[in-house]
Structure 1
Amino acid sequence: MDRMEPPVGHIRFPEARENVISALRSLADKTYQEQERGVYRKEVSRYDDLSLTVNLLYDHQVLPNPADCIGDVLFPSEVEPLLCLSKVLEPLIEELGDRPDLDYMKDPRWTLVVEAAVVALTVFDQNDTSV
C-alpha cells in the first residue's frame, strides 16, 4: 500500500521537526558549543552534550536516511543538506564513538560538521518562513 503524501507545506510531526531544528542549531553554533557543552541547564533539567544532539537527529530518523522523513518531519529540499551533514558527521561518530565532546570539537573535521549544519539550518529556516 502506498503512503499518502501530505499536502505541500504540511509537516505531520511539527514537534519532531522542532527537535531536529534545535539539534541543527546546536551543531551550527561553534561558539555555543565551546561555552555550553557539558553544562547542566537547570531550566531544562539536562546537560547539553553532543550525544543528546546527535541522538535527536537519529531518534527522529532524519539521519542517515532523510528522504524517509519527507512530509513527516522534512520538506524535500532539506534532504540533500542533511545527507551532506550525515556524510561528514558519521565518520567522526564511527571513529570517535563515546569520546568527550571536546575531542569532537578539536578534530579538524569538526569544522565541516558545523558548516554542513549551518547550510541545513539555512534551508530549514527558509522553508519555515515560506510556509
Structure 2
Amino acid sequence: MSQAEVQFPEMRERIISAVRHLSDPQYQQKVWLNKEYPHDGYYDDFTLTFNSLQDTAVLDDTTAAIGITLTSSAEAVPMQHLADRLDNIIDTVGGQAPDSVFLTSPLWDSVVDAAQRALEALTR
C-alpha cells in the first residue's frame, strides 16, 4: 500500500511532520527551547507536536490506523513503540511540564530514538 492509498494522506503528512520533529534534537533545541522559528507566523513546541499526533488518533491504536494514515504493520509497529515511549514520559514527567523538562528527562532519548525508527518506517 502506498502513501496515496491511505484514506487521509493529509493527516499522514501531519503525522510524518510531527514524528520528524520528535526525531530531531537540533530542531527541538532551536525551535522548542530557543524559540528560533523558521519564518514569521510559525510556532511549534512539544505540546503542539504531541497534540498533532493525538488529533490524528494514530497513537491510540496504531494497528487501526493501517489504511487510514499508516500503510502497513511495518509502520504501525514502530509508531506503537513511539506511542509507548510518549505515554511513559508523559506519565513520568507530567503532561503540563514545560518542554525543557521533557527534553532534559532521562527518558527523552528513548522518545527521540523511537521517533527516528518510526520516521524511517514512514518515509521508507
TM-score (norm 1): 0.84
Contact 1:88 1:113 in 2 (8 A): yes
Q: 1:26 aligns with which of 13, 21, 24?
A: 21
**How far apart are 1:90 and its partner, in Å?**
0.4
**How far apart are 1:40 and its partner, in Å?**
6.7
Which residue is 1:99 aligned to? 97
Q: 1:80 aligns with which of 73, 77, 84?
A: 77
CA offsets per residue over residues 33-92 of structure 1, 9 Å max, x none?
011105274846242100110011110000021111111100111110011111111021
Query: How large is the Cα RMSD of the aligned pairs?
Result: 1.6
Q: Greater relative contact order (Cα 8 A, min sep 6): structure 1 or 2?
A: 2
How many residues align? The count is 119
Structure 2 distance, partners of 1:46, 1:52, is: 12
- Structure 1 residues 13-92: aligned runs within 5 Å: 13-37=8-32, 39=35, 41=37, 43=39, 45-76=41-72, 77-92=74-89
Contact 2:30 2:36 in 1 (8 A): no
Contact 1:17 1:74 in 2 (8 A): yes
Q: 2:107 aligns with which of 104, 109, 120?
A: 109
CA offsets per residue over residues 94-124 of structure 1, 9 Å max, x none?
2321110010000011000000000000001
Structure 1 distance, partners of 2:38, 2:24, is: 21
**Identity, % of aligned positions:** 35
Name whichever of 81-90 and 41-50 sits farther off. 41-50
Contact 2:81 2:114 in 1 (8 A): yes
Match of 1:98, SS? coil
5+ residue gaps in structure 2? none
Match of 2:64, SS? helix
Q: Which has the larger radius of gyration?
A: 1
Ranges of 4+ aligned residues in structure 1 off by more than 3 Å: 40-44
TM-score (norm 2): 0.88
